[in-house]
Amino acid sequence: MDLLSISETKCRQCYRCVRECPTNALKIDHGKVKRIWSRCILCGICYQHCPHDAVSAQTGVKRVQELLDAGEKVIVCLDPTFPAVMDKGTPGQLVTALKKLGFHEVWEAAVGGDPVTRAYNAWIHKDKEASWISSFCPSLVYYVEKFVPQLKDALVPIVSPMIACGVIAKHLHGAGTKVIYVGPCISRIWERMSRYGKEYIDYVLIYHDLTYMLKAKGIEREEQEPSDFDGPPSGLGRILSFSGGMSKGVGFEQDLLNMDHVVEAGADEAMRALKQFQEGKIRSKFLDLLFCKGCINGPATDKNISGPSRKQIVVDFIKAQQKKRPANGAADIRKLPLNLKRSFAARDVAMPDPKETEIQAILIQLGKTYPDRNQDCGACGYGSCREKAKAVVQGLAEMEMCPHYLLEQLQGLYSSLEKSHLQLKSSHEELEHAQRQLIQTEKMASLGQLAAGVAHELNNPIGTIMMFSRILQEELGDNENWQNDITLIVQEADRAAKIVKDLLSFSKETKVKPGLVNINTVMKEALALLVKQSIFHNVEVRTELDPKLPSTFADPDLLKQVFLNIILNGVQAMDGKGTLAIQSRKLDKGKKIEIRIQDTGKGIPEENLPRLFDPFFTTKEKGTGLGLALVYSLVSKHQGTVTAESRLGHGAAFIITLPVLGQKEWQKKDHPITDLKNAPQGKEHDSHGKDLIG
């Protein structure tokens, strides 16, 4: 089981742990945070900074509880920081509570700090020319062994106070005694598993484990009678939880101008100090370094209490203990044959530098090329975009760890989705238009059949009425009253006959005879037939016909009928006075032709626009409502569309769109036109006038 695990259920992908990790031991893999164990130094910063408690430490608390339940002889050693964390009740009440939990003795782990401090003092001062690095912080030791193994021989070869405490406890109570260490440091769990730790420390717990165990047994610390600590008394070992505590214990003067020693606490500060020490920029005799801001600010301390507040609590406890319990038993420890020596091993995790071309390729993909686009913000956990790109090539990082890259990717995805949405919307509108056309076509086909039947049935009776009306006119002679009435009958019968004729024209299947025609020529011929009529005398006709308009296969006679109907409707809508604008142009890179006919009449009410092309729909007093229906039918036969735009008081515009087709395109239609031999060609065609349906 991993010493530090990340719960996928609790993790909310905020990736704060990835950004905070000082050794880039965390990466994002398919949206999940994964740990690169070869780079992890168990500093616990991910545990400390996770806002969702998704990171947990595996300490073996259940095994310790089993030892206590079995009645084993177990000594618990509390880190010097305990007063600032286990602060419910007094330290004496905590001792009683822990004994009720089953611990045989309760020690201050600072007992091990005293002999370690003396060993440091002797080692550092035996060679006045050498420079040394403190080694009692496990995370610092692992960092040196993995990332700057060249400095491993500069580490003071003395065990940590935790192991020293275990050495003393086993020496005094026997190797069979179980020693449990409790503190704020997660890297101590790993240190216990080393060849120096596993002999003297059986388990390492964090303060949260003790709180859990006491709560599970229903033991309230504040309700206990106070008890004294067991084991040898502690001295200066208690101050090692403070940044600079080891320098104080060794005897270095706390002088701002004294560079014999350097004190740095915190991951970034410690790593920079090691780098500068390696580069020769720091020449001090002793580097007192901690990966935390002092052990009192370790990962398993209370986040709600400030560092100075914790320090004050520990200082108050130290002063109280000095008055209460003089260190008269220290001489006993000095006489013990304690072996506190240790050595260090290089665990170099450095990887070969990738090729420059590989780094540049990743920077290009990230959009962070130097010198203009790099941001070096550190949000991904790396100090610069170049370091991040290098890590990606080495397989230590993912490009998705860069929030700016992710944002650009999301923006690209949004643009793609927006484009797809517009395409889908356009396709939907085209489908709706096609459906409306299909409904209109089916409606007109049905109405055409109905109209043909009605016209056929009405034609004979109307003819009979007209014939006998004229006979009556002749027989009645000069009878004025009767002549007026019969004349009205004849006029209305004539009107009915015209309607019947229109119905027959609408209903019959018009044969399309296509040829290669120029739309501009057809439009000019249509205008020539109309502009001399009296209704056009006060109408200004403006034409804007594209001279580069491509020719297309179409029936010029049918198209002329379309243009005549729309132009005449427009002039009538202006009551013979206004401006008629006619425009032609290419669309879709010459694949389509658009003809726009616009008048300045009174316009069409919005509610009437959807019904304009319905047969028998008209707003004219004497109109049949078949003209625009026929226009729609004829344009559809040319695989085109016709639409209308209008606003009341601003006139109306009819837009005809026709595809540019050749003979092959016509022959590929569902009902190919076979009568092409005699089809008119280009401008030389002969157009024949056809009846207009009003």
3-state secondary structure labels for all residues of 579-604: EEEEEEEEECCCCEEEEEEECCCCCC
Q: Spell out the residues 6+ positions from residue 16 whose beta carbon is closer than 8 angstroms to its own.
A: 49, 50, 51
pLDDT reading at 124 higher than 70: yes
Element (H, E) at 74: strand 74-78
Domains and CATH numbers, the chain: 1-43 (3.30.70.20), 59-334 (no CATH), 429-507 (1.10.287), 515-684 (3.30.565.10)
Q: Are 404 and 385 spatial neighbours (Cβ–Cβ below 8 Å)?
A: no
Among 249-258, 324-333, 438-447, 518-527, the range scoring the smallest mean pLDDT is: 324-333
Say what the pLDDT of residue 290 is. 94
Of 306, 238, 261, the C-alpha closest to 132 is 261
Q: Higher confidence at residue 689 or residue 134?
A: 134
Among 21-30, 173-182, 501-510, the range scoring the smallest mean pLDDT is: 501-510
pLDDT reading at 608 higher than 80: yes
Please, what is the average pLDDT of the chain?
84
**CA distance linking residue 309 with residue 84, whole number of Å:** 8
For 349-367, the pLDDT digits (tens) are 877 888 888 888 888 888 8
Helix/strand/coil percent split, the chain, to 5: 50, 15, 40
Burial 387-423, CB ≥16 within 10 A → b, else e: bbbbbbbeebbbbbbbebbeeeeeeeeeeeeeeeeee
Beta bridge partners of 655: 596, 643
Q: Spell out the residues 6+ positions from residue 51 whose beta carbon is closer than 8 angstroms to its own.
A: 14, 16
**CA distance linking residue 81 with residue 65, whole number of Å:** 23
Question: Looking at residues 273-298, what average pLDDT do you find?
Answer: 91
pLDDT reading at 619 higher than 90: no
Question: Looking at residues 286-297, what average pLDDT do you find?
Answer: 90
**CA distance linking residue 214 with residue 225, whole number of Å:** 16
Question: Looking at residues 35-57, what average pLDDT do you find?
Answer: 90
Of 297, 392, 349, 290, the C-alpha closest to 38 is 349
Positive or negative CA dihedral for 81, 82, 87, 93? Answer: negative
pLDDT reading at 17 higher than 70: yes
**CA distance linking residue 448 with residue 442, whole number of Å:** 10
Among 216-225, 434-443, 605-614, the range scoring the smallest mean pLDDT is: 434-443
Q: Are 295 and 138 spatial neighbours (Cβ–Cβ below 8 Å)?
A: no
- The DSSP letter of residue 578 is E
Q: Higher confidence at residue 129 or residue 498?
A: 129
Torsion, CA 304, CA 309, CA 314, CA 319, rounded to 10: -150
At 195, is the pLDDT very low, low, confident or very high (cuts 50, 70, 90)? confident
Say what the pLDDT of residue 452 is. 61
Max avg pLDDT among 52-61, 197-206, 676-685: 197-206
Q: Are 291 and 270 spatial neighbours (Cβ–Cβ below 8 Å)?
A: yes
**How far is Cα of residue 660 from the mean position of the Cα atoms in its chain?**
45
Per DSSP, which regions of 323-445 are E strands?
Answer: none
- The DSSP letter of residue 142 is H
DSSP string, 357-385: HHHHHHHHHHT--TTTT-----TTSSSSH
**CA distance linking residue 50 with residue 31, whole number of Å:** 17
Question: Looking at residues 448-469, what average pLDDT do you find?
Answer: 70
Amino acid, res. 136 = F
**CA distance linking residue 458 with residue 503, whole number of Å:** 11
Max avg pLDDT among 282-291, 324-333, 481-490: 282-291
At 444, is the pLDDT very low, low, confident or very high (cuts 50, 70, 90)? low
117, 159, 568, 643 from 252: Cα distances, Å: 12, 20, 109, 95
